[in-house]
A and B are shown apart, each in its own frame.
Chain A
Amino acid sequence: MTQKNMVQAINEALRLEMQRDGRVVVLGEDVGKVGGVFRVTQGLWDEFGDDRVIDTPLNEAGIIGTAIGMAAYGMRPVPEIQFADFIYPAFDQIVSEAAKYRYRSGGEYTCPMVIRTPYGGGIKGGAYHSQSPEALFIHTAGLKVVCPSNPYDAKGLLAAAIQDDDPVLFFEPKRVYRAVKMDVPDEAYTLPLGEAKVVRPGEDVTVVAWGAMLYEALSAAETVEAQGISCEVVDLRTLWPLDLESIVRSVEKTGRIVVVHEAPKACGFGAEILQLVTEQSFLHFQAPPARVTGWDTPFPYTLENEYLPLAHRIVPQLIATANY
């Protein structure tokens, strides 16, 4: 057991999976010699060489398309998209090809690949280095979507995603990459996809979050505790398939729910979560289901603290929901 940040934990998961399974390869822009823009793949090229840690040209559709071909015919590629904001040139490959491989071949072929990509704000990256596009992929049937909030989960979930037989979008909160350190086992382990985790038990309000915003939710929960409001914070970990059961269990206890996400509000994943919970737990509600999210605008350059649903914006919503 050693203290690791998320970059180190993901790096270790990749290395262990590559050692375990010769079908696993890593490909993407600058992932080889340079070790990736965030250094997540550092050292892999030295250990596994050009054949398995592949520097690609700058062409996202090519990277993802090639990975799909590899995956369909027996390999386990783990392509990296440098920033989630650059995934759109490959959107067609993901939505039209990867997501529908199993379905349109009647189960003959699958597409076991993991697209790793850093997402979210917090580095003043402006419009193209900050977005949170998870909802677009959740909306696309045939994909799994994972978003860890800490190093331990990241390592176990990535290993599970690589071993999974379906295409997985693996969103890494770049704001958390080096900001959080914790004990992470050195050996290989997996954590099951599709299981949320209650990271702070409470009685009055259920708060659902994932990735970087989990920390804002926790900090807001801490703040309102002093005012006698007890929040139960649920870290989704896997966004799709959604662990609705865990959310419902919590909401039927608290009677109140607030979802927090960085992505814009309109058609954000929060809308889907709240509707699914409403369908099951309507009669338990003691307050209207609520969201604290990014604004329905492009991601701004200098105004990111105004844009992000940081704790100071979550707190008033928790109070309003608790006192409804």
Chain B
Amino acid sequence: MGSLETTASAQVPGEQLERMYRSMLQIRRLEEEAARAYVQGKIGGFLHLYIGQEAIAVGTEAALRKTDWVITTYRDHGFALTRGTSSRAVMAELFGKDAGCSRGLGGSMHMFDAENRFLGGHGIVGGHCALGSGVAFRSKYLKTDEVTVCFFGDGATNIGGFHEGLSLAGLWKLPIVFVCENNLYSMGTPLDRTLPARDLTDKAPGYSMARDRFDGHDAVVVQAHMSEAIERARRGEGPTLIEILTYRFRGHSMSDPGKYRTSEEVEERKAKNDPVRVGRERLSNAGFSEAAIAAIDAQVEEEVQDALKFADEAAPALESSMREFVLAGGEL
């Protein structure tokens, strides 16, 4: 692992580091504003923030081609953005507006973007793992060299849907990478109360899969590891199960007061492993001036404020949409 990290950082060009930093900051700032809008009652229901885990989506995107596929859980805003969904479309979806990426019908947990090969936003834990295998099956069936990356949490590794998805992918050597974003908690319950194994990738050999396990707060490191697994899948050498160690800085969702962990624990993780800060440090180390970094910050800020204004002013989801998208052929 060590060698991977040094070669990775040695080779990363400045523009790549800039892209990564910009992308992580975009997720961070958009979600911070979403959290505020939620408190103001402009976003309803549930809002699961990705803050603290941004390096994973961003590092993965850097390892992907635009023709590859991403499928994930309800903690999906970051992935929509890294895949290429506009800040406006993401924010409008959060606000339940017709201009949202899912027409305001999905909300926070159900972002989709077919054009950018982002397959959503899935609210039923584990439900999407076999879907990922199906997407990979298609790629293989059509003899493309596309790869699917399927994300889920540590809690998800306990449900049948996860195992059934892996079982088929392992058997058929599908071009897919399964990524567990292990943030140590399944909602309010810590891992050690729900999982007897310490290393989640112990599950890989049972499905005859390759495995990898690493720390996920540095997008450059994430990219290096993800590239290996993605290219293995692309070469037709089958799936990989990856565990990325991470931490969410906010509650499980906005309605979680987070009493199950101490604020010292959270603060320590923020101080040590903040992906946005690490990304900024990498920029500095690569010779970016403070002014150059401030310019990026300003551009991101402008984009986020624009998205916020757009979402606020956009027309609400249409009552007709409710019926239009139930079955093909429109209105019921």
Which residues 112-142 in A have Cβ within 8 Å of B in the complex? 123-129
Residue A302 interfacial (CB < 8 Å): yes
- A interface footprint on B253-278 (CB within 8 Å = 1, 0 otherwise): 00000011000000000000000000
Partner of A59, one of B44, B158, B188, B193: B158
* Stretch from B123-131, B176-184, B202-210, B226-234 at the A interface: B123-131
* B107 and A126 contacting across the interface, CB-CB below 8 Å: yes
CB distance from A236 to the nearest CB of B (A): 27
* B110 and A126 contacting across the interface, CB-CB below 8 Å: yes
* A56 and B332 contacting across the interface, CB-CB below 8 Å: no
CB neighbours (8 Å) of B46 from chain A are 125-126, 129
* A30 and B188 contacting across the interface, CB-CB below 8 Å: yes
* A89 and B126 contacting across the interface, CB-CB below 8 Å: yes
Known: A123-B45, A129-B45, A301-B104. A57 touches B109 (CB 8 A): no
* B contacts, CB < 8 Å to A: 44-46, 96, 104-107, 109-110, 123-127, 155-156, 158-161, 186-189, 193-195, 259-260, 316-317, 319, 322-323, 326, 332
CB neighbours (8 Å) of A29 from chain B are 186-187, 189
> Which B residue's beta carbon lies closest to that of A58?
B155
> Could you pull out 11 A-B pairs where Cβ atoms are within 8 angstroms?
A33-B193, A37-B187, A58-B125, A58-B155, A58-B194, A86-B124, A86-B125, A89-B124, A125-B46, A296-B332, A297-B323
CB distance from A277 to the nearest CB of B (A): 27
Taking chain B's interface residues, is the majority helix, strand, or loop, or is none over half, making it mixed?
loop
CB neighbours (8 Å) of A245 from chain B are none
* B319 and A126 contacting across the interface, CB-CB below 8 Å: no
Partner of A34, one of B104, B126, B189: B189
In angstroms, Cα B104 to Cα A124, docked, is: 12
Partner of A301, one of B45, B124, B127, B160: B45
CB distance from A54 to the nearest CB of B (A): 10
Q: List 5 additional A-B contacts (Cβ < 8 Å) besides A85-B123, A295-B332.
A: A29-B186, A29-B189, A57-B195, A301-B96, A301-B110
How many contacts A-B (CB < 8 Å)? 114
> Which B residue's beta carbon lies closest to that of A296?
B332
In angstroms, Cα B163 to Cα A61, docked, is: 13
In angstroms, Cα B255 to Cα A37, docked, is: 9
* B105 and A301 contacting across the interface, CB-CB below 8 Å: yes
* B193 and A55 contacting across the interface, CB-CB below 8 Å: yes
* A307 and B195 contacting across the interface, CB-CB below 8 Å: no
Residue A300 interfacial (CB < 8 Å): yes
Per CB-CB distance, the 10 closest pairs between chain A and chain B, nearest first, are: A124-B44, A302-B96, A57-B158, A34-B188, A301-B107, A124-B45, A128-B123, A57-B194, A58-B155, A59-B159
Known: A89-B126, A126-B107, A296-B332. A33 touches B260 (CB 8 A): yes
* B193 and A297 contacting across the interface, CB-CB below 8 Å: no
CB neighbours (8 Å) of A61 from chain B are 159-160
In angstroms, Cα B160 to Cα A129, docked, is: 20
* B317 and A303 contacting across the interface, CB-CB below 8 Å: yes
Which residues 13-59 in A have Cβ within 8 Å of B in the complex? 29-30, 32-34, 37, 55-59
